[in-house]
Structure 1
Amino acid sequence: MQETNRLKSLAELAAEIEGSEIAYMLDRMAAIRDRPGNPEGIEIARVGQAAGFYSRTMPWATFNTVKGLRSGDADALAEFVDFYRSRERKPQFELVPGLADQGLMERLSGLGFGQTGFHTSMAMTAADALHAGPPADELEIRPLREDEFELYAAVHCRGTGLPDSGIAPVAANNRVLYDRPGWRFYVALWEDRPAGVAVSHMSEGTASLTFAATLPEYRGRGIQTALLRSRISDAFAAGCGLVVGQCAFGSQSHRNMERVGMRVGYVRASWTER
């Protein structure tokens, strides 16, 4: 009985983590969709409790993925596949351990999909937070101002390897989040120069660390760890009981998250069309 209760609590935690990821994606994509004329061609498909996200102009998996599938949702898969194929887009399906059963995977395989990767979701409570000393004297973390989204987008693009041609659309797609409840943007300054940015979203007592980037020339100075600590501290101060984030398993981001007290919630499977 004790082991059954433990497994149940792990499944409940997984559902809570994924629910936070779905909540911020729904709000983010809806805000971008509601820009005049819907310039990014955003659509959101809902089948049962699962959500499928699509963008006409942004072909990356982040913006064309299905989240929230559960054991017993095999019949919903064909609807999602038809939704994306009618738009000539190959989607990504995310399956969470303990929430997706063999039948779901067999149906995905029958539709021409296979597992092509993993991604890690991290989590922590206030009790998990590790004590930290002050950041380096050269470093300042502060909220991003409303008139700084060009700055934000420049760091976003150059920190992730996107070309500067992406600065204008990235600025526009994030500016619409500024006044929406739950969203917070941060900028890290090294000797008063922009060096990193980060974003979080809070909803129903859970905070998601949705994005962070550091300019290449400023890496290795503890900037991402400081941005993590700032967002986590603000989340707990705002009354959140859980903080979650995503990273590639074993990556520098993974190590940074463990450094501040976060632990692996689950490693989800990514399925794409063969």
Structure 2
Amino acid sequence: MITIPSAQLIEEIERSEVDYMRDRMIAIQSRQGNPEGIEVARFGNATCYYSKTMPWASFNTVKGFRSNDLDAIDAILDFYRSNNRKPLFEIVPSLVDANALKRLSERGFYPSGFHTSLYIEPSSLIEGLSDDIRIRELREEEFDSYASIHCRGTGLSDDGIPYVAANNRVLYDRPGWKFYLALYRETPAAVGVMYMKERIASLTFAATLPEFRNQGLQQSLLLRRIREAAIQNCSLVVGQCSFLSQSHRNMERIGMKIGYVRTSWVEG
């Protein structure tokens, strides 16, 4: 059983986050005509994601950055500036030293927030499910329903529903991806997504409709996905969330532990 995060575990957690985002972005890019204007570039260890139509930080992020990528900083910045976009650097403790942070600061970047990566071994899971909750895999024809919960659960406008549906539908048949629908007393109320690669599962997204919060839906979705990861012989499950958010609390309640808290560096 893993009890204390090691250097190897930290790298495995970060790699799982890089892998799921890369696969997601490549899938969206493969839509006919690349309507979201997706580009993925690699500079040293750093993978850079960009979307022309989606300006949010999660789609314009630098993942996997290391101290030995100092010479690539200007090339990374040129990649985003040529696309008229300001990137977000995800900085993982122990993988980036003071010199790299100083260089980012000299380029006008500063730490703007914190994000937690948690982990659990599937075999250490203790399960439990309310009688009011039923969870099943999402059907291919249900992506409009998925997108509705996705948008309303995260505060996005309903105008985004067709775009969210299209950008997630392309993941449905890709290896490693699984979508789940949670029903509260048989009413669709929450969704969760998972990506598996090389025996590591990433809990990539989850949302609950506001009117169904505080009913245990997210904990139930966590349990279901972790159970599936165990069935698929995954040795590690990783989840990401804002530090001390409700998602963070839910993950700790079902036994997940903090692997690290990374900082988000943005340009001033």
Q: TM-score range by the shorter chain?
A: over 0.9
> Is residue 269 from structure 1 mapped to residue 229 from structure 2 by the alignment?
no
Structure 1 counterpart of 2:188, one-letter code:
P
- Equivalence for 1:232: 226
Mark the runs of 5 or more structure 1 residues left unpaired by the alignment: 1-5
8 Å CA contact 1:72, 1:101 repeated in 2: no
Structure 2 counterpart of 1:115, one-letter code:
P
- Equivalence for 1:195: 189
8 Å CA contact 1:50, 1:66 repeated in 2: yes
> Is residue 16 from structure 1 mapped to residue 39 from structure 2 by the alignment?
no
Query: Given the two structures, how large is their TM-score scaled by the length of structure 1?
Result: 0.95
8 Å CA contact 2:45, 2:69 repeated in 1: no
CA–CA distance in structure 2, aligned partners of residues 51 and 115 of structure 1: 19
Mark the runs of 5 or more structure 2 residues left unpaired by the alignment: none
> Is residue 95 from structure 1 mapped to residue 91 from structure 2 by the alignment?
yes
Write the mapping of 1:1-274 to structure 2, written as runs, cut at 5 A: 10-129=6-125, 131-133=126-128, 135-274=129-268
Q: Deviations over 1:75-95 (max 9, x none)?
A: 111111111111111110011
8 Å CA contact 2:123, 2:230 repeated in 1: no
8 Å CA contact 1:43, 1:55 repeated in 2: yes
8 Å CA contact 1:140, 1:189 repeated in 2: yes
8 Å CA contact 1:72, 1:103 repeated in 2: no
Identical columns (%): 59
- Equivalence for 1:3: none
Q: Deviations over 1:248-267 (max 9, x none)?
A: 11111011001111000000
User: How far off is 1:180 after superposition?
Assistant: 0.1
8 Å CA contact 1:20, 1:207 repeated in 2: yes
CA–CA distance in structure 1, aligned partners of residues 22 and 139 of structure 2: 24
User: How far off is 1:126 after superposition?
Assistant: 2.7
8 Å CA contact 2:122, 2:229 repeated in 1: no
User: How far off is 1:127 after superposition?
Assistant: 4.3
CA–CA distance in structure 1, aligned partners of residues 229 and 117 of structure 2: 17
Question: How many residue pairs end up in the alignment?
Answer: 266
Q: Deviations over 1:146-183 (max 9, x none)?
A: 00000000000000000000000000000000000000
8 Å CA contact 1:119, 1:246 repeated in 2: yes
CA–CA distance in structure 2, aligned partners of residues 228 and 244 of structure 1: 11
